[in-house]
A and B are shown apart, each in its own frame.
Chain A
Amino acid sequence: MANIRFLPFAHTALKNLFSKPVTTGYPFEPAVYPERMRGHIQIAIADCISCGLCARSCPPGAIQTNRTAGTWTIHRFDCVQCGSCVNVCPKKCLRMAPGYIEPGPEKWSETFTRPGFPPLGQKAESSQQPAPAPAQPEGKPVNDSSACVYCTLCAKKCPQGAISVDRAAKTWSLDEQACVGCGVCVSACPKKCLTLR
């Protein structure tokens, strides 16, 4: 108790009495968010290929993708803003944007439809009139072994680790179950010997 002083906090209290409040007047003054803030998820739907990796990696299961309908759905109230989907997206079409979503009494979801697919609520055309072609080619990669140099770039870039390349034995193989058809291997291939079919 030897170092006890009388009113050591008085200086700080007096200083605060004549200084501006530390708090801001939100909501009358807009909140300023840093660029990196993980507020909500945005999607550039034109770049999406419905590979479903974001939905698979989402811890609370807030994302759903439908490859047939070309839709990407997010349940905003289930999303925990972890950014897992952003990290795994092979096309980099997802991003975390600053600012929170509006609060509300009911849980709601948001659905985006890829270009070239019928808008939500409208059924696809009948069999006589084929549906318009999707924006990106779809399917699994097929390798043209005559042009392949077994550089392993496709295997390194594959987000699912579905491609195995053996340079010595000159073999290229695909795990069909693991492949999500994202096409990252096709764009990484320097010899253009991979195609999605």
Chain B
Amino acid sequence: MAKRSIVPFGPQHPVFPEPVHLDLVLEDEVVVGAVPSIGFVHRGLEKLVETKDYKEYIYIAERVCGICSFGHGMGYCEAVERVMNIDVPPRAKYLRTIWMEMSRIHSHLLWLGLLADALGFESLFMQSWRLREKILDMFDLTTGGRVIFSVNTPGGVLKDVDAYMLHQLLQTIDEMEQDLRPVSDAFLREYTVGTRLHGLGVLKPEDAVQLGAVGPMLRASGVPYDARKLGYAAYGELAFEPIVLTDGDSYARCELRLQEIFQSFHLIRQAVAKLPNGPIAVPVKGNPDGEYFMRIEQPRGEAVYYVRANGTKFLDRFRLRTPTTSNIPPMLELLKGCQLADVPLLILTIDPCISCTER
């Protein structure tokens, strides 16, 4: 039996954009176990709900994370709206759907760039992030912000999108779709990328379900679960099916995210074509009283927003369960039996978002 040793991994590591620490148990170069520890960037944002007006808290909810910011704002608002029985105007629902899909595109492109960077493929990393800039510019044009959008409010959205902006958006996604094809080809058909990803970190469907994997991790293992099919915002009125792959390895997770970007282009086109006229928000009077458990599909997977209100302007509790929290147990399973050199890549394939997880 080989001698066991423990190697500390992180919290500062060139591959991770955010701090996470793992104690890796090694036998020679093979990982036989990993003990995660988080808590390096905890900010106590959930607690602030007790001291901020529920309408004001939206600006804090969307600052939980810089990548999932739109989804967090939307998830919080949808939960509050359901507690208060507010019927959001159809135009606001469609605008939320468009912005949510734009968020998915920019999140997946960011992940692809980070993956290329972890592989040492710097030009592919730059190509991915060059494409991401275009969608960030569209966010800037339509919402006024590139990272934090501040357009959600209980009752609808704060900013409308005019015909010029929609035209620009459609033109941009057409260009992006064209530009993404060679980048997608490089990820899926390039020899070095293929040899690093194929067969690495296979997650079986039964393990994925049992360990609570969500989002691309779950769908790449052959489980067709996508929270968008629950029909929140305008997703119930758009035609789409969750993308599902069966291999369950790192290559499948990469391919699935690429396919989801193309699906998001398709969903944006559908939503723009169906975008109804009318108001973008309804006035909200009074304070919420009750509780609601809202699930939405963030780019990284299913996120859960729990809101409990007591009839005053301050909520009793806001709880956010992020996709990364759910994906850490399956990630630990993936690490067992892998080579030490593959650890950064395997951690990256769950698309970890530590600032979301720690809130």
A residues apposed to B, CB below 8 Å: 1, 3-9, 11-13, 16, 22, 33-34, 36-38, 57, 59, 80-84, 87, 96, 161
Contacts of A13 in B (CB 8 A): 123
**Residues of chain A lying within 8 A (CB to CB) of residue B56:** 57, 59, 84
Q: Closest CB of chain A to B63's CB: distance in Å?
A: 8
Name 12 interchain pairs, CB-CB below 8 A, sorted by A: A3-B189, A8-B182, A8-B190, A9-B124, A9-B185, A12-B183, A34-B144, A38-B150, A59-B60, A80-B148, A83-B158, A96-B144
How far does the Cβ of A51 sit from chain B's closest Cβ, in whole Å?
16
Q: How far is the CB of B43 from chain A (nearest CB, A)?
A: 13
Determine the residue in chain A with the shortest Cβ distance to B190: A8
Determine the distance from Cα of A130 to Cα of B150 in the docked complex, in whole angstroms. 44
The reply to whether B144 and A8 form a contact with Cβ atoms under 8 Å apart is no
A8 B59 Cβ-Cβ under 8 A: no
Interchain CA distance A105-B52 in the complex, whole Å: 30
Docked complex Cα distance between A125 and B200 (Å): 79
- Decide if the interface of chain B is mainly helix, strand, loop or mixed: helix
CB-CB under 8 A from B158, the residues of chain A are 83, 87
**A contact face: mostly helix, strand, loop, or mixed:** loop
The answer, among B59, B144, B198, for a CB contact under 8 Å with A36, is B144
Q: A34-B144, A36-B142, A57-B53 are in contact. Are A8 and B189 (CB under 8 A)?
A: yes
Are the CB atoms of A161 and B285 closer together than 8 Å? yes
B140 on the interface (CB 8 Å rule)?
A: yes
Chain B's nearest CB lies how many Å from the CB of A15? 9
- Residue B87, interface by CB 8 Å: no
In the assembled complex, which residues on chain A have CB atoms less than 8 Å from the CB atom of B144? 34, 36-38, 83, 96
With A7-B190, A57-B53, A161-B285 already in contact, 17 other A-B pairs whose C-beta atoms are closer than 8 Å: A3-B188, A4-B194, A8-B189, A9-B124, A11-B182, A12-B127, A13-B123, A16-B123, A36-B141, A36-B159, A37-B145, A57-B56, A59-B56, A59-B59, A82-B59, A82-B150, A87-B158
Which residues of the other chain, A, contact B145 by a CB distance below 8 angstroms? 37-38, 81
Residue from B63, B186, B188 whose CB has the most chain A CB atoms within 10 Å = B186
Residues of B within 8 A of A59 (CB): 52, 56, 59-60
Chain B positions within 8 Å of A3 at CB level:
188-189
B339 within 8 Å of A (CB atoms): no
Q: Are A8 and B285 in contact (CB under 8 A)?
A: no
* Alpha-carbon separation in the docked complex, A16 to B53 (Å): 50
Query: For residue A8, which residues in chain B have a CB less than 8 angstroms away from its CB?
Result: 182, 185-186, 189-190
B143 contacts A by Cβ under 8 Å: yes
9 smallest CB-CB distances across A and B, nearest first, come from A36-B144, A9-B186, A82-B59, A38-B144, A5-B189, A12-B182, A34-B141, A59-B59, A8-B185
**With A36-B143, A36-B144, A87-B158: A9-B59 Cβ-Cβ less than 8 Å:** no
Chain B residues lying within 8 Å of A9, measured Cβ to Cβ, are 123-124, 182, 185-186, 190
Q: How far is the CA of A12 from the CA of B182 in the complex (A)?
A: 7
Q: Are B186 and A84 in contact, CB atoms less than 8 angstroms apart? A: no
- Contact residues on B (Cβ < 8 Å of other chain), bracket: 35 or more
- A82–B148 Cα distance when bound, in Å, is 8
CB-CB nearest in chain B for A13: B123
List chain B residues, Cβ under 8 A from A161. 285
Any A CB within 8 A of the CB of B28: no
Interface members, chain B 134-185 (any A CB < 8 Å): 140-145, 148, 150, 153, 158-159, 182-183, 185
> Does B133 count as interface, using CB distance less than 8 angstroms?
yes
Q: How far is the CB of B227 from chain A (nearest CB, A)?
A: 27
> Which one of B55, B60, B63, B140 lies within 8 Å of A34 (CB-CB)?
B140
The answer to whether B59 touches A84 (Cβ under 8 A) is yes
Q: Mark B31-53, 1 if CB is under 8 A from A, else 0.
A: 00000000000000000000011
Contact across chains for B140 and A37 when beta carbons are under 8 A apart:
yes
